[in-house]
Chain A
């Protein structure tokens, strides 16, 4: 039964799936989620248990809707925005509880108390390879004062990257949700004509931060350019330099994460600034999942190009029938195409092979990872909020 889905709302052939089949397809994710959150049942107090149940329910319902409606982007976005909003809340909560402030003193930084963030990975590679120096001031293994250490995050990122490629940016990144939420708030974009050459800007930011980090032995992006320092952790303002850094963080956050996404309906920070995006895009060469266009069905209506939140789709890529290397597989273009020309695809299979099978094979690991990683962040923050309410 297609339920509330009308034939006009979805692409041909995507008329929805029966509730029973959708439930069957959701079952593995439900079991995986139950396994992931079962450890919360051993924790003392009601808050962790309730938070785990709410999160599990949330993840299962969203996945069920993905199965039922055969749409991806809409439901993924709900998860992603929730993660993006709740992550800073939980993070700031931890910082205030542990240190009494969002700022970190130089002594604490030297002591390796900086929680590790995946955005630093590209900057660490060259100094680590050339001189065996880890330029991030965090600890390698988790400690009591810093549970978010380097090694576990890199292991998690690597595992997700090998399977999802740049899908990390749509299912794993705990920063992108804020701008995706801001972009979703506007009904129509106020700014439409963005010079496509800006798409190359993140590659330039990546090149600059990698080269300068190698030259200065400092995580340049984290020290100077990260917009998300404004909602996580920043160096204590004690000098003109740290005041300037704080000013840059705040301005970039307001501009790239709040205002510009609302004006353009794009993920502007991801599309035009984030150096991790292009670095992660290289992993799309490893991932077997991709988005392709069936040129026989395509009418060049540019709906898919308008739907892409990071301007990855352009005239050339559509003509070539393949999304660019920077595609983060969010599914917006696939869902937007009313002709069914844009489809999920597994490399090495025929283009006409079932796109829904390819989508399912991609969604299972993606959602399992989202439940494990993002889900646990959501549950932890919910626990804190419930404890606060109690």
Chain B
């Protein structure tokens, strides 16, 4: 897809280049870097609350020590970064075509919520080892272990990727600013710095390893994962269903 460079010269970019022409200043050098990082940092609290329902029960269910939790968090964040970069590529490629029509937005994010619900549900089921909590006839131990193994390989990154695609207001602002960049690397750089700005808010999640000694934590975490999956599943069905109904109505 050809990059729509022609319409990328906004007022902000002009100011940046004219400043650069006068010689390097601290503001000139740091400004483009600081904006996305500060935007990420200031919206990190929202990222924290958006990722919390997915990340916290899942980390608690893993029952890992500090190092293990750190590794899992790293995989999750890597997946989340991938989500950001995919989004950055999309918004850059689509340029000023953003925002998408409401029904298209709803369809995409409905599907993302459904995928997130499926990932969480499959994880919760895979961790029910010896005997499922809810019913007598559930997964066999061998099959659940196999499922759990498969999930452990891809799960953290998949969850990170899916939660990374969250349409919160700061994320949309970041999308619009990235779309105004001159090049794809510029858009990617913007989202990379935005991501870096949010990172500090994820450090408290490492504290999950400190509460692992509590009896029943894993059971609670699995139950919670099921409930959160149900919530995102509902959200996905409603959002996607609404978008499809809207599209069908318009078509008719």
The answer, yes or no, to whether B228 is at the interface (CB within 8 Å) is yes
Q: Name the distance in Å between A297's Cβ and chain B's nearest Cβ.
A: 26
- Chain A contact surface mostly: helix
**Interface residue? B205 (CB, 8 A):** no
Instruction: Tell whether, in the assembled complex, residue B216 and residue A130 are in contact, meaning their CB atoms are under 8 Å apart.
Output: no
Interface size on A, residues (CB 8 A): 20
Question: B225 to chain A: closest CB distance in Å?
Answer: 8
- Docked Cα-Cα span, A201 to B231, in Å, equals 16
Kindly specify which of A25-33, A40-48, A56-64, A205-213 makes contact with the partner chain: A205-213
CA separation between A200 and B219, bound complex, in Å? 7
Q: Which residues of B contact A8 (CB under 8 A)?
A: none
- Known A211-B53, A215-B50, A215-B52; contact A204-B224, beta-carbon cutoff 8 A: yes
- The answer to the question of B200 belonging to the interface, with a C-beta cut-off of 8 Å to chain A, is no
> In the complex, what distance in Å separates the CA atom of A179 from the CA atom of B202?
41
> Are A198 and B133 in contact (CB-based, < 8 A)?
yes
Number of residue pairs across A and B with beta carbons under 8 Å?
59
A241 B50 Cβ-Cβ under 8 A: no
CB closest chain-A residue, reference B227: A208
Taking a contact as CB atoms under 8 Å apart, the answer to whether A130 and B133 are in contact is no
Residues of A within 8 A of B52 (CB): 211, 214-215
Is B238 in the interface zone, CB < 8 Å from A? yes
Residue with the greatest number of chain A CB neighbours at <10 A, chosen from B50, B219, B222, B238: B219
How far in angstroms is the closest Cβ of chain B from A296? 26
Complex contacts, A197 vs chain B, CB 8 Å: 133, 216, 219
Collect the chain B residues with CB atoms within 8 Å of residue A215's CB: 49-50, 52-53
Nearest neighbor of B53 in chain A, beta-carbon distance: A211
> Could you say which residues of chain A place their CB within 8 Å of the CB of B53?
208, 211-212, 215
Asked if residues B216 and A200 are in contact (CB atoms below 8 Å), the reply is yes
| A residues near B227, Cβ cutoff 8 Å | 204-205, 208
Cα A208 to Cα B60 in complex, Å, equals: 13
A252 to B34, CA, bound (A): 51
Residue among A198, A200, A203, A220 with the most chain B CB within 10 A? A200
Q: What are the 8 A-B residue pairs with the smallest beta carbon separation, nearest first?
A: A204-B223, A208-B227, A211-B53, A204-B224, A203-B220, A207-B224, A214-B49, A200-B219
A residues with a Cβ closer than 8 A to B are: 126, 130-131, 195, 197-201, 203-205, 207-208, 211-212, 214-215, 220, 241
B interface vs A, CB < 8 Å?
Answer: 45, 49-50, 52-53, 56-57, 133, 216, 219-224, 226-228, 231, 238
16 contacts between A and B (CB under 8 A): A130-B45, A200-B219, A200-B220, A200-B223, A203-B216, A203-B220, A203-B223, A204-B224, A208-B53, A208-B223, A211-B53, A211-B56, A211-B57, A215-B49, A215-B50, A215-B53
